[in-house]
Amino acid sequence: MEQKTYQSKTWFITGASRGFGRIWTEAALERGGRVAATARKLSSITDLNDKYGDRVLTLELDVTDAKQAKDAVEKAYAHFGHLDIVLNNAGYSLVGTIEESSADDIRMLYETNVIGPVSVIQAALPLLREQGYGHILGTSSNLGHVTLPVIGYYCSSKWAFEAIHESLATEVKPFNIKVTIIEPGAYATEFGSQESLKFAAGMDIYGDYKAEFFKSLQALERGDPKATPQALFKMVDSGNPPLRFNLGSHNLEWTRKTYQERMAVWEEWNEISASAQK
């Protein structure tokens, strides 16, 4: 089945109440698309109905509720008749060192950042196969390749997110379903707000270290999130979208440096490593 032009593309977007989710939802609607916009609190997105009318369907969705995810995807599909793009954008960051963060902290993070998106994907795949095409997008981060201290568990959730999508891309290619991992760098979004951050119980021993870490973060050059939609649309309109798609001008330099350092260490130790094969 031939894919729709951008004017008639229909999106399903999680985490549409703020940050990239809100910006991309409104941008998709402004360019003529239709969007099933979801958020944990329906009241945070109902204003979209007044502005965009029947081109938007607003749905309440906590991605940690697999049944609610399935119901939302099926309602969106039934309402619009097809889904061209399924965008998993909901997520948050856990702030805490590896020692400080509890098992419950980590479990909750993974329920939202990893298992939640999988629930949406699993709900959407039968429908995308039935219609014969689709494009699954997932908002990851440049931290899906590199790491920072203090938010190590958040980084780990993005590494898992990336591995899942890379495997998924190979599995669904025969069904004409594409997969792209969106990897933003540092942007001036609400991701640093209290709703997007959860804090592990602190330990005094790490107090000074974390203070210096937060100070260094404040010095980061942050991009304008409103500059991202056109790049995103060029990617989704491409006949051959990439598996991984950087957003921002600093990602590649940081990732390249990190992988060069990794390669150098692997090469240095290769003789000893290879000896373990004999």
- pLDDT for the residue 272: 96
- pLDDT for the residue 275: 94
Kindly list the catalytic residues: 140, 154, 158
Top CATH class of 6-247 equals: alpha beta
State the pLDDT confidence band at 278, using cuts at 50, 70 and 90: confident
pLDDT in tens, 39-51: 999 999 999 999 9
Higher pLDDT: 80 or 248? It is: 80
pLDDT in tens, 151-181: 999 999 999 999 999 999 999 999 999 999 9
193 has pLDDT over 50: no
Q: Which helix (H) or strand (E) holds 260?
A: helix 251-268
How much is the average pLDDT of 213-220? 82
Domain extents in the chain: 6-247, 253-278
Lowest mean pLDDT among 1-10, 14-23, 225-234: 1-10
pLDDT in tens, 96-126: 999 999 999 999 999 999 999 999 999 999 9
Query: Model-level pTM?
Result: 0.92
Burial (CB count <10 Å: 0-12, 13-18, 19+), residue 167: exposed
- CA–CA dist 276, 278 (Å, integer): 6
